[in-house]
Structure 1
């Protein structure tokens, strides 16, 4: 199984386990993501974003609210002021050997390893918006993620991720 780590740094030759700032209750680990979910990192690291999928149990009202007439299975929403940064970004996808990793979060596709890991290869990625669109993921831009976050947290939607929300514009 191939796993990935994304960075804006093209010079990483070794991943050492570390304590994540928002997960200080965990031991030091190396984080990775699977291929199915890697697109959620096709943005600059600090870009706040919300990604959600159609899921069982979604009420008709929530289906209409979150998907409307869209046939997309997955929708990614980012704040409008991040458009240019995403458009112009180069990010680096590090392919990691999967042998020391264990599944941490199936919904998000996150894996962790308590061992140091050397990447197998590094690929620079550009044209990130086009890459997202090519995966049939609908990408939406909005002035603020706050209303969407509140709507999701008060809905029947269960398959979603809210990433780097601390960087979202305040209302």
Structure 2
């Protein structure tokens, strides 16, 4: 599930959104109200239930072969996502939807950019689309999915490596 040319996507478990209003998310480090979306490259970050903690790593221009082999391993691909066993059922059962939004009016945020934001209300281009089987999406995209008892050892290894990485909802991970 990726955006088409001229689009960004917003993933949600709520299939009833008719218009996105800028707001300050309770978990955001940003103080400005935004409508949040993602472009093609960051869509896989959101192929999860909203509250699911996930640690993600992928190769980048400064990634060493040693780190790629050690962390991504021989499972194939250039990217790995990790979740905890406690979230396995939620990932299998969630009904996730993608809203296609017009890319015009959205700007990248972050350094490096990790999302797209708009400061005005945004109306979806059509009804939300069911995302479908999240494991199947990962497989089709060539992304390894790991299920771990505890995300923190993996996260610590990834953040100390030369891989690119992102952690979302890690406050929900086991302590």
TM-score normalized by the length of structure 2: 0.89
Q: What SS does the corresponding residue of 2:67 show, helix, strand or coil?
A: helix
2:151 is aligned with 1:149: no
Specify the alignment match of 1:112 in structure 2: 117
Displacement of 1:107 in angstroms is: 5.0
* Structure 2 unaligned residues grouped into runs of 5+: 1-5
Task: Describe the SS at the equivalent of 1:166.
Answer: helix
Structure 1 residues 90, 97: closer, same or farther in 2, change over 3 A?
same
Mapping of residues 86-165 of structure 1, within 5 Å: 86-105=91-110, 107=112, 109-121=114-126, 122-157=128-163, 159-165=164-170
Which residue of the partner structure matches residue 49 of structure 2?
Answer: 44
Instruction: Determine if contact 2:159/2:165 at 8 Å carries over to the other structure.
Output: no
Matches of 2:66 and 2:28 in 1, distance apart?
34
For the pair 1:77 / 2:82, whether they are aligned, the reply is yes
- CA-CA distance at 1:48 after TM superposition: 0.5
* Pairwise CA distance, 1:151: 1.2
Gap change, CA 1:169 and 1:100, over 3 Å in 2: same
Q: Which position in structure 2 is the counterpart of 1:29?
A: 34
Kindly indicate whether residue 75 of structure 2 is the aligned counterpart of residue 54 of structure 1: no
Regions of 4+ moved over 6 Å:
none
Once the two structures are TM-superposed, the CA of residue 6 in structure 1 deviates from its matched residue by 0.8
Query: In angstroms, what is the RMSD of aligned CA positions?
Result: 1.7
TM-score (norm 1): 0.91
Q: How far did 1:8 drift?
A: 0.7
Deviation string 1:22-73 (CA, Å, 9 cap, x unpaired) is 3354310100001222122111000010111112222344223212223311
1:9 corresponds to = 14
| Structure 1 unpaired stretches of 5+ | none
Q: How many residues align?
A: 169
